[in-house]
């Protein structure tokens, strides 16, 4: 199973877990078009050529049954063989292990461990810094410095590797786990003037250029105009999670107001919890 499988039906039609997959499809990914965490699972599925169903969830109006799949009410959720997994890294790792070809991790345990160090650093340090600057919404010196430091750490990883990708000679699991936020860097530039090219990180800038040419990245990319619109609403605390819907979905309900500090995980009860 190799290559990229195109979507076979509308990703904006709400399909329950018991809705049968189409012939040839082997799993379902519950996603949200603009979500970088869900994009991780979509990138791995595309890289492996897994024929899958994508269903976008309106995170402002989650169906009650979605909490049976993930008690946090978050995407992604991967359904496969009658069971499901959630959390972005766990879901992506599951796809890597359940569909072993093509292999996106090194066979060398030490190399694999370092790949995990790379994307875990970005997950634990880089992503929070990215969102802190985005929430500021202007060239905040402290938040810009914080993000720059973690991007410089990625640059140092690449310098030590001396390879074109975090995985080595070709894109691999670590590259796809880091990529979604670098796809969003132009949006961050639009809002905060943060400029990756000005940081003195030539290896990372070259990696971004190479990743943009990757057919998997092209297949899973988000429309940049929609992305900017989405994050403009995000910053105002009124995210519209159906932005870009293809017209087959139920019309979006009014966006639920969220305190800005809660937007990363949508932790407020009225968007997080099962409706009573």
Catalytically annotated residues: 35
Residue whose C-alpha is closest to residue 257's, from 270, 244, 246: 270
CA 274 to chain centre: 24
- C-alpha dihedral sign at 232, 238, 239, 242: negative
117-149 in b/e form (b: 16+ CB < 10 A) is ebbeebbebbbebbbbbbbbeeebeebbebbbe
Report the distance separating Cα 125 and Cα 147, nearest Å: 8
């Amino acid at each position: 199973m190799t290559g990229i499988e195109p979507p076979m039906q509308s990703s904006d039609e709400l399909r329950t877990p018991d809705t049968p997959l189409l012939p040839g499809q082997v799993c379902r990914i519950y996603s949200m078009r603009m979500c970088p965490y869900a994009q991780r699972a979509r990138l791995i599925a595309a890289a492996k050529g897994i024929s899958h169903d994508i269903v976008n969830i309106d995170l402002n109006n989650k169906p009650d049954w979605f909490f049976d799949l993930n008690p946090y009410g978050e995407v992604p959720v991967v359904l496969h063989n009658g069971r499901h997994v959630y959390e972005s890294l766990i879901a992506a790792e599951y796809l890597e292990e359940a569909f072993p070809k093509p292999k996106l991790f090194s066979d060398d345990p030490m190399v694999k461990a370092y790949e995990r160090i790379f994307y875990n650093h970005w997950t634990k340090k880089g992503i929070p810094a990215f969102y802190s600057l985005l929430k500021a919404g202007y060239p905040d010196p402290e938040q810009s410095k914080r993000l720059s430091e973690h991007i410089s750490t990625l640059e140092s990883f690449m310098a030590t590797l001396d390879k074109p990708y975090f995985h080595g000679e070709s894109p691999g699991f670590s590259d796809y786990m880091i990529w979604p936020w670098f796809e969003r860097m132009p949006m961050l530039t639009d809002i905060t003037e943060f400029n990756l090219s000005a940081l003195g990180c030539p290896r990372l800038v070259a990696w971004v250029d190479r990743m943009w040419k990757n057919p998997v990245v092209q297949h899973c990319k988000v429309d940049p105009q929609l992305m900017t619109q989405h994050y403009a609403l995000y910053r105002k605390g009124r995210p519209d999670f159906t932005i870009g819907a293809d017209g087959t979905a139920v019309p979006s309900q009014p966006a639920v107001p969220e305190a800005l500090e809660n937007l990363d995980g949508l932790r407020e009860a009225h968007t997080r919890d099962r409706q009573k």
